[in-house]
Amino acid sequence: MQNRTATLDRTTKETAIRLTLSLDGAGNSDVRTGLPFFDHMLTLFARHGLFDLEIEAKGDLAVDYHHTVEDVGIALGTAFASALGDKAGIRRYGFAYIPMDEALVRAVVDCSGRPFLAYDAPRGIEAIGLFPFQLVEEFLRAFTVNAGLTAHVAVLAGRDAHHMAEAVFKCLARALDAAVSYDERVKGIPSTKGIL
């Protein structure tokens, strides 16, 4: 089995991000993006996916939170794809349902190499403090596209914005943990095409 880790530095005129990811970790994290709620979500993502994750991001937060959230998604997705390597021996597919009090989320993922996000959540959800709920979708899109994932994420129930967002991050992490786990019955690449 390969060492499934990746380290990435990404700098633009809007953000500077340094990130290290291990897919075969223990859920340890050190996340500092300048956005406390986003840090909380990424910490949950690491813990529930059993990924080890370090992120330091500096962004133009005085302009908007969007650039930082999207660029962290791009960086994390890029690192995820790199750490996953050729995908030999993995289960490839994963799914999870996660409740968070009144909220319920479903996530289904395929490490297909074909980027696609289907996202369904209530519209008009209030911000969580200063963090717009809409940025959850922006993160998911940036992450899935750059990770080369097909992901279907749906908020099936919920009223509290924090609960819904938290369930999304936990649920995605659980689905990904299942998808990237090894299955000893899988020989080589889990595709009849021989490549993912």
Q: Please give the C-alpha separations between residue 44 and each of 14, 123, 153, in angstroms, as whole numbers.
A: 25, 24, 17
pLDDT at 156: 98
Domain assignments of the chain as residue spans, ordered by start: 5-180
Average pLDDT over residues 109-120: 98
Helix or strand or coil: residue 110?
strand
pLDDT band at 194 (very low <50, low <70, confident <90, very high): confident
Average pLDDT over residues 67-89: 97
pLDDT band at 24 (very low <50, low <70, confident <90, very high): very high
| Exposed/middle/buried for residue 19 (C-beta within 10 Å: 0-12, 13-18, 19+) | buried
pLDDT digits (tens, 9 = 90+) for 118-128: 999 999 999 99
Quick one: angle between helices 36-49 and 66-84, nearest 10? Answer: 20
pLDDT at 195: 81
pLDDT at 1: 63
pTM of the predicted model over 0.85: yes
Separation between Cα atoms, residue 162 and residue 119, nearest integer Å: 17
CATH of the structural domain 5-180, one choice from 3.30.210.10, 3.40.50.300, 3.30.230.40, 3.40.50.410: 3.30.230.40
